Amino acid sequence: MDKKVKWFLLVIGVFYFLLGLIAFYNAVKYTETAGILWFSYVSFFLIGIGILTRNSYLIGSQLNIIIIPYIVWNIDFIYVLFTGNSLWGITNYFFTQRPLIAQVVTAQHIFTIPISLLTIYLIKLKRKDFWKFSFAQITILFFIIRVIGSQEENVNCVFSNCLPFYMPLAIYSVFWFVFYGIMIFLTTLFLTKIKMFNEK
């Protein structure tokens, strides 16, 4: 691996690792205990570790969890930014008065996907079963949040639907797992089928 690439990965890895620590601090200071378990916070902390250790399995497992929600987030963000109107209401909070640290942490939604894909391109995927880690992670965090979290905070939307359409609470947990399962499957399929992300 070229020295410039190594330095790039080192800088990006340290950046994401530190951003993860800042996000955890932000969660502890401004939210309830379960706030530290937001998938975004956990994911870019683990992405940082994955980049520093050249572990594409770990990076891929986190992209499985965040890439589709981040695409939706960015569509909503761009719409609000350019029109001043709410689309799905997902990013309205970003345009309210909030602590600077919270804004900095939230801004990572804009650039995490391209940076993560670039690092996978540079490191290459060695395994195709990183979906296992993804599913284990969301399952463990789901049950922890249900125990220590609250309906008001609704971390990772585990208590009720965060999107603007009705979903009966009686079947919501099943829907949540099906939804994340589909996202993990589609993202794994995407990453493992693109040649430039995989070892020859």
pLDDT in tens, 37-93: 899 889 988 999 999 999 999 999 999 999 999 999 999 999 998 998 888 888 888
The residue written with tokens 């602590």 in the block is 99
Q: Is the pLDDT of residue 102 over 90?
A: no
Q: Which domain holds residue 75?
A: 3-197
> Does 161 have pLDDT greater than 70?
yes
pLDDT at 180 over 90: yes
Closest CA to 69 of 39, 42, 93: 39
Average pLDDT over residues 116-145: 94
Instruction: Please state, as a whole number, how many other Cβ atoms lie within 10 Å of the Cβ of residue 81.
Output: 12
pLDDT score of 169: 76
Given this model, what pLDDT does residue 57 score? 95
Note the pLDDT of residue 200.
63
Do residues 49 and 17 lie in contact, with contact meaning Cβ atoms separated by under 8 Å? yes
| Interval 160-172 mean pLDDT | 78
Question: What pLDDT score does 167 carry?
Answer: 76
Share of the chain above pLDDT 90, in %: 54
pLDDT at residue 105 tops 90:
no
Mean pLDDT across 4-19:
91
Q: What's the CA gap between 51 and 116, in Å, rounded?
A: 9
Q: Does 153 have pLDDT greater than 90?
A: no
Calpha distance 12→151 (Å, rounded): 35
Q: Is the pLDDT at 94 greater than 90, yes or no?
A: no
pLDDT attached to residue 188: 96
Angle between helix 169-193 and 131-148 (nearest 10): 150
How far is the CA of 198 from the CAs of 49, 52, 127, in angstroms?
20, 19, 9
Average pLDDT, the chain: 89
State how many domains the chain has: 1
Per the model's pLDDT, the better-predicted residue between 163 and 137 turns out to be 137
Residues with Cβ within 8 Å of 165's Cβ and at least 6 positions away in sequence, in order, are none
Q: Taking 90 as the threshold, does the pLDDT of residue 33 lie above it?
A: no
pTM of the model: 0.90
